[in-house]
Structure 1
Amino acid sequence: MVVQPNFDVGPVLEKFANVERIAVLRGGGLGDVIYTYPALHALKVAYPEATITLLGTPIHAALTAGTDGPVDDVEILPFAKGVRDAGPGDGDQVDETEDRLAQEEFFSAMRARRFDLALQMHGGGRYSNPFLLRLGARHTVGTRTKDAEPLERNLDYIYYQNEPDRWLEVAGLAGAPTIISPPLRPLPEHQQAVQSLLNPQRSPLLVVHPGATDPRRRWPASYFAEAAATIAQEGAQVLVVGDRAEKALAQEVTELVARQLPVGHKNAVRSVAGELEIGELAALLDAATVMLASDSGPRHLAQALGTPTVGIFWVGNVFNAGPRGRSLHRIHMSWVTECPVCGADVTQVGWSAQHCGHDDTLIRGIAVAEVVQDVHDLMATSLLLRGK
């Protein structure tokens, strides 16, 4: 790992003394935690004797268990407003009394671990800063909106900022310079497990993820199908991925592709949505030549593994989540700034924005032919650029 000055990210303040146990608060989904990984690598280098405990969600624990990365262990967050809100994948929501009891048990257990440094990498701090302070860590660092409780060292939270850079800036406030962090690595057992999915008669391999948590970020299924069919007819294998909630969407894409393929190519495309654990997904993405996806957690995972990606983004999300380089990653942006149904300004996002209530896609206008061309370009240079 190469240490670099933080001139283009933020200042590097003095390190804290005698740090052996670090806690990092980050709720949310797969992409949310991957945003923090460059900062976690930086902390690992700055505090080589310290353990890093991620306070996160079940999918974060699965990612940590399924890849070789900077996190030593994961503590699952209790349900708490603005930190870990119960969602569709969390089963039945518990009542407020049970929530409070679970939170008290969590804080008691975390205080017993006597963290030396706790970092808040979860939004503007309105809810997450009071939560972090209850851990009882000797030192606290994180982001803060003007109405949030202050920590020992604070970074002003401004919504439109590249997320990995935001958390690198927080790490800098904790004394950790920016580094060129290594890619995530899938575990050998997961690499072996996905070998049966790979068709040696078809190459290269395109992995497609048509889903996104916010429906407004989803490219239409028919567009993904047209792109995948074009690539499959040229001899490539196409695997469509997604979680269990996305099985129907993935199946829709594969069925649309099958209608466009001649008989000899029918076995080129398959959905494996809902079939892979997170470690196996990482191994499959590592084996892929290129990934094609909307702005989503699996696309961020592919990027973290060093796999070339073609991403379909709404322009506002590019500021926060788009990759910065273009050798390995291509971006197609929709410049739509108003809801296509009611005309509401969709650029006003963040903690205080009100959703207009319409989930129509904002990225329909991105042309399939231009996306396919970028898939072709990256397939032609993928092995050379990845050093494989």
Structure 2
Amino acid sequence: MDVPGNPGIGPLLEKFSHVNRIAVLRGGGLGDLIYTYPALNALKLAYPEATITLLGTPVHAAVVAAAGGPVDDVELLPAARGVHDGPRNGQRFEAGAEDTAAQEAFFQEMRARKFDLALQMHGGGRYSNPFLLKLGARHTAGTRTRDAEPLERNLDYVYYQQEPDRWLELAGLAGAPSITAPPLRPKPGHQQNVAGLRDVRRASLVVVHPGATDPRRRWPASNFADAAAGVARKGAQVLIVGDHSEKALAREVAELAVRRLPQADRQSVRSVAGELDLGDLAALLDAATVLLASDSGPRHLAQALGTPTVGVFWIGNAINAGPRGRALHRVHMSWVTRCPRCGSDVTQVGWTAPHCGHDDTLIRGIAVADVVQDVLDLTATSLLLRGK
């Protein structure tokens, strides 16, 4: 039943009784996990004696190992359609990528864990709800579209909703009141690893991440370069980050930025893409004065660490993934709603419309000068409040 006066995101139902082991299903990438951290912290507070096992992906395991938090252990998901996709052919899941033997071994192992509560925090449930039910938990809760199999407690899945709020609302269905989540903290070893990257001769450290898993979410490299050069002229050190697949993009941004700078400032901009593991990236973001990025996993990680961010978003992603408030975070939005190449309506999502097949950027109409000004404004705030 609902508890009167609950100030949380949604209804707060009664807690489940005798919960000692909780499983949380969450596939996807870095940002997908960070969305759930406020809810995971709420669950930990509501069920302090319970262990929380994340059923996730290798990058999730790396986050838990690098920064700790409410998760006690991680079990890696087998390849399963709509839950943890294997190799892809364009936008299509390869049917042969599913290893049914590996899935059954996984389910047997999870059933042996005898979870008291299993939470589905992975989409609308068409694929993830049947997957969750195979865990054999005593109680289940999760999001659900109308065509998805029901769980014991269900939250209607509405696509355009702020993601952390969605999972806090689900935690409320499991009896966990909404809380203000503490920031993640990188482990000391990773902080030591990145200490030598800081150029103390520069007044501030601005980290730039120009990448995004979906190319349509990327601000053009030339725009990032102009912004990087703009803040470097004001005395900032600029480090451009990315994973191994983003090394060429990061190098392009760095080289373009350097060309725009006078000789005295050229050493202040460089790429470290592909040089940092996830723990080191977290430590660098924690040390940064401001992060400038597209809508991407590193932007969400920086926010979770308490680092100010300037994000460049497509309007639909700003609804789902944009930060709240302007004290520490600034959002610049592109209002493009149709594919620049074929005119398809890109606001239609998931089950309602397939990807049109074009990856042209949707991030248009955002002035570099406005982005630079927000970086400079947050730099002044961060230096005063955080000493960074």
TM-score norm. by structure 2 comes to: 0.95
Structure-1 separation of matches of 2:101 and 2:8: 44
Q: Structure 1 residues 5, 360: CA separation in 2 closer, same or farther (over 3 Å shift)?
A: farther
Q: Structure 1 residues 73, 156: CA separation in 2 closer, same or farther (over 3 Å shift)?
A: same
Q: Which moved more, 1:254-263 or 1:164-173?
A: 254-263
1:27 aligns with 2:27: yes
Structure-1 separation of matches of 2:167 and 2:195: 35
Q: Residue 387 of structure 1: CA displacement?
A: 7.5
Q: Secondary structure at the match of 1:340?
A: coil
Structure-2 separation of matches of 1:223 and 1:97: 38
Q: Residue 6 of structure 1: CA displacement?
A: 4.8
Q: Is contact 1:62–1:278 with CA below 8 Å preserved after alignment?
A: yes
- 1:290 matched to which residue of 2? 290
Q: Structure 1 residues 182, 387: CA separation in 2 closer, same or farther (over 3 Å shift)?
A: farther
Structure-2 separation of matches of 1:111 and 1:32: 25
Q: Secondary structure at the match of 1:194?
A: helix
Q: Secondary structure at the match of 2:196?
A: helix
Query: In the alignment, residue 214 of structure 1 is paired with which amino acid?
Result: D
Structure-1 separation of matches of 2:258 and 2:333: 28
Q: Residue 7 of structure 1: CA displacement?
A: 3.8
Q: Structure 1 residues 96, 341: CA separation in 2 closer, same or farther (over 3 Å shift)?
A: closer
Q: Residue 233 of structure 1: CA displacement?
A: 1.7
- 1:335 matched to which residue of 2? 335
Which deviations, in whole Å up to 9, do the C-alpha atoms of 1:133-171 show, x marking residues without a partner?
000000000000001000000000011110000000000
Structure-1 separation of matches of 2:177 and 2:40: 11
Q: Residue 19 of structure 1: CA displacement?
A: 0.5
Q: Residue 87 of structure 1: CA displacement?
A: 4.3
Query: In the alignment, residue 185 of structure 2 is paired with which amino acid?
Result: R
Aligned ranges 1:205-354 → 2 under 5 Å: 205-354=205-354
Structure-2 separation of matches of 1:384 and 1:49: 39
Q: Residue 242 of structure 1: CA displacement?
A: 0.6
Structure-1 separation of matches of 2:11 and 2:235: 50
Unaligned 5+ segments in structure 1 are: none
Q: Residue 86 of structure 1: CA displacement?
A: 1.6
Aligned ranges 1:157-236 → 2 under 5 Å: 157-236=157-236
Q: Structure 1 residues 348, 255: CA separation in 2 closer, same or farther (over 3 Å shift)?
A: same
Count of residues in correspondence between the two structures = 381
Aligned ranges 1:124-135 → 2 under 5 Å: 124-135=124-135
1:99 aligns with 2:99: yes
Q: Secondary structure at the match of 1:270?
A: strand
Query: In the alignment, residue 282 of structure 1 is paired with which amino acid?
Result: A
Q: Is contact 1:5–1:177 with CA below 8 Å preserved after alignment?
A: no
Q: Is contact 2:79–2:98 with CA below 8 Å preserved after alignment?
A: no
Q: Is contact 2:190–2:283 with CA below 8 Å preserved after alignment?
A: yes
Aligned ranges 1:137-176 → 2 under 5 Å: 137-176=137-176
Q: Structure 1 residues 369, 59: CA separation in 2 closer, same or farther (over 3 Å shift)?
A: same
Structure-1 separation of matches of 2:346 and 2:8: 29
Q: Structure 1 residues 386, 202: CA separation in 2 closer, same or farther (over 3 Å shift)?
A: closer
Structure-2 separation of matches of 1:118 and 1:330: 35
Q: Structure 1 residues 338, 98: CA separation in 2 closer, same or farther (over 3 Å shift)?
A: closer
Q: Residue 68 of structure 1: CA displacement?
A: 2.4
Q: Is contact 1:202–1:237 with CA below 8 Å preserved after alignment?
A: yes
Q: Residue 33 of structure 1: CA displacement?
A: 0.4
TM-score norm. by structure 1 comes to: 0.95
Q: Residue 96 of structure 1: CA displacement?
A: 3.6
Q: Residue 262 of structure 1: CA displacement?
A: 1.5
Structure-1 separation of matches of 2:314 and 2:31: 16
Structure-2 separation of matches of 1:183 and 1:383: 18
- 2:60 matched to which residue of 1? 60
Which deviations, in whole Å up to 9, do the C-alpha atoms of 1:249-280 show, x marking residues without a partner?
00000010111111111210111111111111
Structure-1 separation of matches of 2:330 and 2:96: 45
Q: Structure 1 residues 104, 306: CA separation in 2 closer, same or farther (over 3 Å shift)?
A: same
Q: Is contact 1:306–1:386 with CA below 8 Å preserved after alignment?
A: no
Structure-2 separation of matches of 1:272 and 1:326: 28
Q: Secondary structure at the match of 2:118?
A: strand
Q: Secondary structure at the match of 1:179?
A: coil
Q: Which moved more, 1:345-354 or 1:332-341?
A: 345-354
Structure-2 separation of matches of 1:242 and 1:105: 35
Which deviations, in whole Å up to 9, do the C-alpha atoms of 1:310-338 show, x marking residues without a partner?
00000011110000111100000011111
Query: In the alignment, residue 51 of structure 1 is paired with which amino acid?
Result: T
Which deviations, in whole Å up to 9, do the C-alpha atoms of 1:87-133 show, x marking residues without a partner?
47xxxx99748710100110010001110000000000000000000
Q: Structure 1 residues 159, 6: CA separation in 2 closer, same or farther (over 3 Å shift)?
A: farther
Q: Is contact 1:31–1:297 with CA below 8 Å preserved after alignment?
A: yes
Q: Is contact 2:8–2:177 with CA below 8 Å preserved after alignment?
A: no
Q: Residue 350 of structure 1: CA displacement?
A: 2.5
Q: Is contact 1:141–1:170 with CA below 8 Å preserved after alignment?
A: yes
Structure-1 separation of matches of 2:5 and 2:74: 29
Q: Structure 1 residues 110, 302: CA separation in 2 closer, same or farther (over 3 Å shift)?
A: same
- 2:81 matched to which residue of 1? 81
Q: Structure 1 residues 222, 281: CA separation in 2 closer, same or farther (over 3 Å shift)?
A: same
